[in-house]
Amino acid sequence: MAAGAKRTKLVIFDCDGTLVDSQHMIVAAMTDAFASQGLLAPPRESVIGVVGLSLDWAIARLVPAESDPGLVDLLSEAYKEAFRARRLGPDHAEPLYDGVRDALDRLAARGDVSLGIATGKSRRGLDAVLEREGIAHHFSTIQTADTHPSKPHPSMLFAAMGEAVAEPVDTVMIGDTTFDIEMALGAGTSSIGVAWGYHPADALRAAGAHHVTADCAELELALDRLMLERQVG
């Protein structure tokens, strides 16, 4: 980078459990998927615990270890169909968490920050959320499970930084699961855990999160502190 050049600060968000509260939809669709194969659904806590992983990886953790390998594929397809059907239903609910819209608006309006998404969701599912909420225009780089290994592999973050022309020292990953924090560690970026999602705050800290925040106001303050702390040169 040329001397005196302005450096890009990249803030990357997870989706489910970080931007949107989709746990009702996820658990219901997983219950439908298992029922379609004549299987008892996993406990809610188990389903929530694998949110953030790519779908095949998540389901592989929910079925017995001795299961037929083809069962994961069957359940994955059944889950996708169930989720699509429920998205069209009257009880569909994937709301943005309180404060998320305002926080995104403020961050996107800053001249020193670019926003991105790195999610275990499919691009189709993510696009549906972003378009419904009218926030797609805020994100300059979007990475999904369609074209990357599952979290915590750092592939999504490397791709996002490449697209945004950002260095790890200027990049922050924000997520609600230990998979997000471990992904950030693997990519050499900072990480902020959000306590309103699906993994406990203590687990996020133990995984190596630089900060864990309780709400969006605190998140913005943590971002500013972290960017200043890691800024070099």
Same fold, 9-21+95-230 and 23-87: no
By mean pLDDT, which of 64-73, 113-122, 131-140, 168-177 is the weakest? Answer: 64-73
User: Is 176 one of the catalytic residues?
Assistant: no
Has domain 23-87 been given CATH number 1.10.150?
yes
Q: Which of 137, 99, 95, 134 minimizes the C-alpha distance to 221?
A: 99
| 8 Å CB contact between 193 and 181 | yes
Give the residue-averaged pLDDT of 71-85.
95
Considering the candidates 14, 21, 176, 180, report the single residue annotated as catalytic.
14
The secondary structure element, H or E, covering residue 12 is: strand 9-13
Report which DSSP code applies to 6: P
Residue 232 has pLDDT above 50, yes or no: no
Any residues with CB less than 8 A from the CB of 111 and at least 6 apart, and which? none
pLDDT > 90 in the chain, percent:
83
Name the band, by pLDDT with cuts 50, 70 and 90, for residue 6: low
Give the residue-averaged pLDDT of 56-83.
93
Give the residue-averaged pLDDT of 98-110.
95
User: Is 16 one of the catalytic residues?
Assistant: yes
Domain residues of the chain, as ranges? 9-21+95-230, 23-87
Domain made up of 9-21+95-230: CATH architecture = 3-Layer(aba) Sandwich (3.40)
At 212, is the secondary structure helix, strand, or coil? strand
Residue 5 has pLDDT above 70, yes or no: no
Residue 198 has pLDDT above 50, yes or no: yes
Q: What is the pLDDT, as a whole number, of residue 230?
A: 67
Q: Is the peptide bond before 95 cis (omega within 30 degrees of 0)?
A: no
pTM: 0.91
